[in-house]
Structure 1
């Protein structure tokens, strides 16, 4: 809604409804906040309080989208959401939800610019402009390149992996062409690495995390979604090195909670299915190394993820594993049990 349109009433704010203060009756909005049926998400923007409980991760993503919608309705200058914000609007996975709303605009912000906005200054070429979730954004390829240039390589790899699973999917060659036009030096090497190692087979941020810690120490590139034929059926391990008989899986606790994966998800049935699957894999001679989020920070005396995987390889190979100098250790995340 823009200036001049009919002002909406804040007295009947629906759960999840976004209300811009300048478009609403102030006293009705104040009463809604006092009743707890609305909350302020940024200066001049309110949203109806959600009734159904959500996971912290889902709530954070929803809030980040609402913030982008609020910024769009408040800004009058031409803008395109970018980086993590655009990735979110495209439907990409994120290692962590952004605490700031990222956007490109043609002019530099004033010294009084809002702290919850991260404004990038520049002109977006017509071919790199798009719309996602009803908002102006950088194209998927430009979004991934921006993320690869600015973010931690693990965080950018999570975005790139998931972008390859979208329909239509990320065009990696087009992204490489965009990256080739970047004149800055800082970050380009990492960005090329991210594009070269993006893999649609990583079905969750934590699967990407396992790949990253392995690739960071120069392990051979793992195969994702490795097919394994058992007496029951064909199963797939999250990743592995079939030539060496090494398989890895990540267990998210969300699978073992009712409604954890989706509404109606049955945790007891999930446990039963996982037990049958594990038995079938073991009978087929496949013994995956299993990890959970807690393994990202092992206790004193415990083996690291890299150590547990590396000892499955021949000693001669392990001696050749070296940390890639430009790849930093993985960052922490606020959402450790997705």
Structure 2
């Protein structure tokens, strides 16, 4: 690739325009031939990338980044910033099911819609914008606030909980952000989602289970509660109702279908049994919640926990229950868009 065209491709985030290619000597007929021959890919009318770069992004699940870069290249406005669900993808937030691939951006001075993109007119203080080199994107907080005003409350809480569990943001920062959007459309739903968000839900299933139990009238549980016996970690409970022996464990399939630490599913099952037996020996009683239990099925689980709330908590000597790691994950789940990824991709051009 011509060095100047490579420079343009890098500057635009993995894409280049027809004008960029013509400027280094390609003709329009030559560009069309390269596209037909499969060496280049047209991302959007007048905006292209290389086939290798396209394949690398697709394989990594980052094709939306090229689509977004192409929209910015096509619009050609320095004030346009990627936002809402597009920024959510680049920040690697947990997205609701069925979210489309429309590119969304915000511009303080212009509203526009087109094929598979929309540009919203809204204020963009400098503190709400960052760069995923070279793409301008709304910050994590602004992105969470923007999608929180548009998404269903449960979907918004799932995204908020996930970001909180990674330690990427705090409830205080989110609350302060809500106050800056006091008169914006959808701020009521956003405020409700922020009030429901907690540090300690490590999966969408855990968030849904917690919200379902709260809706069923149960008190607020402690999330990620560590049971220590003579300072030895016995278990970290997903949900524990303080002052009672009642706890809840949220079971997803991944624990069994893709065990960590190199264990087999049978070893996972045995470890879980031994763990549960020790919890029972310590006087704790719980219930397991799976995805199939959500909805009407959660009523029985809630009643089971409710029946345990009046029981006294009598722990043996040397046993205590404390919050674990302040509710944070051991390893972050999110993998935001990064410059190193783009640089590695450009190495194949």
Partner in structure 2 of residue 280 of structure 1? 275
Q: Decide whether the 8 Å contact of 2:35 with 2:42 is kept in 1.
A: no
Q: What residue ranges of structure 1 are gaps of 5+ in the alignment?
A: 9-16, 298-302, 318-338
How far the C-alpha of 1:313 sits from its partner, in A, is 0.2
How far the C-alpha of 1:288 sits from its partner, in A, is 3.9
* 1:165-204 correspondence to structure 2 within 5 Å: 165-166=165-166, 169-184=168-183, 186-204=185-203
| Cα distance in 2 between the residues matched to 1:219 and 1:41 | 51
* 1:237-276 correspondence to structure 2 within 5 Å: 237-258=237-258, 266=262, 268=264, 271-276=266-271
Q: 3-state SS of the aligned residue for 2:4?
A: coil
How far the C-alpha of 1:212 sits from its partner, in A, is 2.1
How far the C-alpha of 1:156 sits from its partner, in A, is 1.2
* 1:32-111 correspondence to structure 2 within 5 Å: 32=38, 44=47, 48=52, 50=55, 59=61, 62-77=62-77, 78-96=79-97, 98-99=99-100, 100-110=102-112
Partner in structure 2 of residue 224 of structure 1? 223
Partner in structure 2 of residue 212 of structure 1? 211
| Cα distance in 2 between the residues matched to 1:68 and 1:53 | 14
Q: 3-state SS of the aligned residue for 1:248?
A: strand
How far the C-alpha of 1:124 sits from its partner, in A, is 0.2
Q: How many equivalent residue pairs?
A: 286
Q: 3-state SS of the aligned residue for 2:305?
A: coil
| Cα distance in 1 between the residues matched to 2:109 and 2:190 | 26
| Cα distance in 2 between the residues matched to 1:45 and 1:295 | 47
Partner in structure 2 of residue 162 of structure 1? 162
| Cα distance in 2 between the residues matched to 1:42 and 1:311 | 55
Partner in structure 1 of residue 145 of structure 2? 145
How far the C-alpha of 1:159 sits from its partner, in A, is 1.8
Higher relative contact order (CA 8 A, sep 6+): 2
Question: Which one has the bigger helix percentage?
Answer: 2
| Cα distance in 2 between the residues matched to 1:21 and 1:30 | 17
Q: What residue ranges of structure 2 are gaps of 5+ in the alignment?
A: 7-12, 22-30, 311-349
| Cα distance in 2 between the residues matched to 1:277 and 1:294 | 20
| 1:29 equivalenced with 2:35 (yes/no) | yes
Alignment TM-score, normalising by the size of structure 2: 0.67
Alignment TM-score, normalising by the size of structure 1: 0.69
State which drifts further: 72-81 or 176-185.
176-185
How far the C-alpha of 1:203 sits from its partner, in A, is 1.1
